[in-house]
C-alpha cells in the first residue's frame, strides 16, 4: 500500500496473492488492507489536502504532465505487469497504458483552463456583483474494477488531482500491481506525499469503511451494478457526491446500407477486445435482413481467427491472441449464460468451448444466433467474449429491442441514413451513441451511463465539474 508516500504493510499483516489468470501462478502479493489502513489513508489524504489545493495551478498541471510522460516512458514495464495480473494480451495492455497517459495529459492541460463566472446583480439590496467560484472538495475515493485497472484509475485520479483534491484509490483485489506502479510514477513526477494514496484489499472488507468514512466527500466508483447499488446505500445517507460507472449491454444496429466490412471489424474489437471484459462493448447486435448473412458469415470467420492463450505470447499470424477470462467464477458464469442462450433457442455458430488448456480460465470466443429475448444473454450483462446476434426487418422494432435492457451505457448504429442516425441519437436510452464508429471511450467526451449503468460523467471537461463544488460569492460594499 502507498500511504503518505510510504510503502506499508497492512496493519493486520495479512497478504493477498495476485494470480496470473493464464497460468494460475502466483506473481506477487499485496497487503490485505483493513479498517485501520483505510482510516490512516483517509487521514493522510485529509492532511495533505489544504497544501495541494493551494498549490499553484500551473504546478499541479506540470506535475500531472510529468506523470503522463513517466507513464509513457515506463509503458513496457507497466504493460507487462498488467498482462501478468489481468491476463490481457501484451498489445492490448500497451494500448491501455497509452490511453492512461493520454487521459492524464488531457487533465494536465485542462487544469489551467477551469473558469468560474461573474454575474451582475440587481441593486435593490445595494450595489453588488456575484461570482461563481469552484472549490476542490477534499478527499476523493477512487474505486476501480479488474477489467481496465489503469485507464479507470486515470479517469478518476487525473481530474481529482487537477482540480486540487487528494485521493485514496482502491484497486480490485486481483489487479493491484500495475496501479501501485502508476502511483509510484505519480510520486516520482512530484505529486506530494499523501496526495495520492493506494489502499489494497478486498472490497467486501474495506470498501464500506472507505465509502462511509466521514472525511471522504466524493466517491468515484466503476464496477458492477450490484456493487454500485450497495455503495449508494452507504454514500447516499451520508450525502456524498458519487459517480457510478456500472455495467452495460450495448446494442449495435447494423442497417442494410451499412459498410458491413467496417461494421464487422468494429464489432470484433467491441466485443472481443480484453476477452470481452469491457463495460462499453458490442453486446447485442441487431442486423437488418438484407445484410444479415453477409455480416454474420464475416463475423464468424473473424472470430475463428482468435486463439485464446497466454497474453505474454503472441499468436502466429493470421491468428489473433485472446487472453483468459480474469476469474474462474466469471468464466463459469459465461458458460452458464451461453447454455441459457441455447436453452432459449439460440444457435452457437462458433466457440463456447473451455478445453485445450492445462491451466488458466479460458473461453473460446462465441457467436450465438437468435437466443430468445428472455435469455440471460439478452437480459443480463455478458462480461466476456460471447455475442448474441439478431435479425431485424423493422427499424422501429430494432430500436425497441435496443432499449429493452436494464442497462444504458453505450450503443451504436451503422448506416448513412441521416433520419435513422437522428432517431438512434434521440431514442436510444444510453450515455453514448456511436455512428459508424467503434465503441471507444474518448478522453475528450463525457462518458457515463443511464438506467442501471449508473450516473455521473467521467472523461471530458465535464468530469472536472464533479470534483469541485460551485460556490456563489456576493460582493457588496462597493460604494
Ligand atoms: P466489482 O463491482 O466486483 O468491483 C469493483 C471494485 O469495487 C473493486 O475494487 C472491488 O474491490 C470494489 N468493491 C467491492 N465491494 C465493495 C464495497 N462493498 N464497497 C466498496 N468497494 C467495493 O466489479 P468488477 O467485477 O471488478 O468489474 C466488472 C464490472 O465493472 C462490470 O459490471 C463492468 O461492466 C463494470 N465496468 C463499468 C465501467 C463503466 O465505465 N461503466 C467500466 C469498466 C467496468
pLDDT tier, 146 (very low <50, low <70, confident <90, very high otherwise): very high
Pairwise CA distance, residues 26 & 19, whole Å: 4
Residues with CB under 6 A from ligand 1: 143-148, 152, 170-173, 203-204, 207-208, 211, 222-224, 227, 230-231, 245-248, 279, 381, 383, 409, 449, 453
The pLDDT of residue 291? 98
For atom 26 of ligand 1, which residue has the closest CA? 145
Judge whether 380 counts as a catalytic residue.
no
Which of 140, 279, 282, 458 is labelled catalytic?
279
For atom 14 of ligand 1, which residue has the closest CA? 203
The pLDDT of residue 252? 98
DSSP 8-state secondary structure symbol assigned to residue 24: -
Confidence check: pLDDT of 236 > 90:
yes
Which of 92, 245, 288, 458 is labelled catalytic?
245
Ligand 1 atom nearest the C-alpha of 202 is 11
For residues 338-349, average pLDDT: 98
Looking at every residue in the chain, the average pLDDT score rounds to 97
Ligand 1 atom nearest the C-alpha of 449 is 41
Judge whether 347 counts as a catalytic residue.
no
Angle subtended by helix axes 177-189 and 75-86, to nearest 10: 160
CA 237 centroid distance within chain: 25
With beta carbons less than 8 A apart as the criterion, state whether 21 and 326 touch.
Answer: yes
Radius of gyration of the chain from its Cα atoms, rounded to whole angstroms: 23
pTM of whole model > 0.75? yes
The pLDDT of residue 12? 79
pLDDT tier, 11 (very low <50, low <70, confident <90, very high otherwise): confident
| Residues whose CB falls within 8 Å of the CB of residue 49, separated by 6 or more in sequence, listed in order | 136, 138, 139, 165, 166
For atom 15 of ligand 1, which residue has the closest CA? 203
What are the pLDDT digits (tens) for 160-210?
Answer: 999 999 999 999 999 999 999 999 999 999 999 999 999 999 999 999 999
Q: What are phi and psi of 182, to 5 degrees?
A: -65, -40
Out of 86, 203, 209, 332, mutate this one to test ligand 1's pocket (max ligand atoms within 8 Å of CB): namely: 203
DSSP 8-state secondary structure symbol assigned to residue 391: E
Q: How far is the CA of 227 from the centre of ligand 1 (A)?
A: 6
Grid cell, residue 422, equals: 437522428
Neighbours of 440 (CB within 10 A): 16
For residues 217-244, average pLDDT: 98
Pairwise CA distance, residues 292 & 370, whole Å: 12
Ligand 1 atom nearest the C-alpha of 228 is 2
Amino acid at each position: 500500500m502507498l500511504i503518505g508516500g510510504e510503502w506499508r504493510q497492512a496493519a493486520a499483516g495479512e497478504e493477498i496473492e495476485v494470480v496470473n489468470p493464464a497460468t494460475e501462478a502466483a506473481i506477487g502479493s499485496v497487503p490485505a488492507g483493513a479498517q485501520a489502513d483505510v482510516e490512516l489513508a483517509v487521514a493522510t489524504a485529509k492532511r495533505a489536502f489544504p497544501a495541494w489545493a493551494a498549490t499553484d495551478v500551473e504546478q499541479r498541471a506540470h506535475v500531472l504532465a510529468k506523470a503522463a510522460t513517466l507513464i509513457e516512458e515506463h509503458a513496457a514495464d507497466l504493460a507487462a505487469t498488467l498482462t501478468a495480473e489481468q491476463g490481457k494480451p501484451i498489445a492490448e495492455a500497451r494500448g491501455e497504458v497509452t490511453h492512461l497517459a493520454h487521459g492524464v495529459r488531457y487533465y494536465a492541460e485542462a487544469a489551467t483552463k477551469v473558469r468560474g463566472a461573474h454575474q451582475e446583480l440587481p441593486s435593490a439590496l445595494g450595489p453588488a456583483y456575484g461570482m461563481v467560484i469552484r472549490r476542490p472538495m477534499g478527499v476523493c475515493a477512487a474505486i476501480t474494477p479488474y477489467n481496465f485497472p489503469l485507464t479507470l484509475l486515470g479517469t478518476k485520479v487525473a481530474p481529482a488531482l487537477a482540480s486540487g483534491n487528494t485521493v485514496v484509490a482502491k484497486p480490485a483485489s486481483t489487479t493491484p500491481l500495475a496501479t501501485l506502479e502508476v502511483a509510484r510514477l505519480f510520486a516520482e513526477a512530484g505529486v506530494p506525499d499523501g496526495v495520492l494514496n493506494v489502499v489494497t484489499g478486498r472490497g467486501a472488507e474495506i470498501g464500506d469503511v472507505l465509502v462511509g468514512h466521514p472525511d471522504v466527500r466524493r466517491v468515484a466508483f466503476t464496477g458492477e451494478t450490484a456493487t454500485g447499488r450497495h455503495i449508494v446505500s452507504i454514500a447516499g445517507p451520508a450525502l456524498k457526491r458519487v459517480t457510478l460507472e456500472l455495467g452495460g449491454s450495448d446494442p449495435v444496429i447494423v442497417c442494410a446500407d451499412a459498410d458491413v466490412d467496417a461494421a464487422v471489424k468494429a464489432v470484433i474489437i467491441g466485443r472481443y477486445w480484453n476477452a470481452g471484459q469491457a463495460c462499453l462493448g458490442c453486446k447485442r447486435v441487431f442486423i437488418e435482413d438484407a445484410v444479415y448473412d453477409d455480416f454474420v458469415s464475416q463475423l464468424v470467420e473473424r472470430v475463428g481467427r482468435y486463439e485464446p492463450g497466454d497474453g505474454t505470447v503472441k499468436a502466429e499470424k493470421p491468428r489473433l491472441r485472446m487472453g483468459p477470462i480474469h476469474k474462474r467464477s466469471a468464466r463459469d458464469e459465461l458458460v452458464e449464460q451461453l447454455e441459457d442462450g441455447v436453452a432459449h433457442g439460440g444457435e452457437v455458430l462458433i466457440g463456447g468451448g473451455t478445453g485445450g488448456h492445462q491451466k488458466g480460465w479460458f473461453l473460446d470466443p462465441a457467436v450465438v444466433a437468435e437466443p430468445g429475448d428472455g435469455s440471460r444473454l439478452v437480459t443480463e450483462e455478458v462480461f466476456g467474449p460471447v455475442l448474441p446476434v439478431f435479425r431485424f426487418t423493422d427499424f422501429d422494432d430494432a430500436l425497441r429491442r435496443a432499449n429493452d435492457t436494464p442497462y444504458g451505457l453505450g450503443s451504436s448504429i451503422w448506416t448513412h441514413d441521416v433520419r435513422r442516425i437522428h432517431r438512434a441519437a434521440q431514442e436510444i436510452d444510453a450515455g453514448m451513441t456511436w455512428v459508424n464508429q467503434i465503441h471507444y471511450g474518448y478522453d475528450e467526451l463525457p462518458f457515463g451511463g443511464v438506467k442501471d449503468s449508473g450516473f455521473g460523467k467521467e472523461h471530458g471537461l465535464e468530469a472536472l465539474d464533479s470534483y469541485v463544488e460551485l460556490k456563489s460569492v456576493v460582493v457588496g460594499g462597493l460604494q
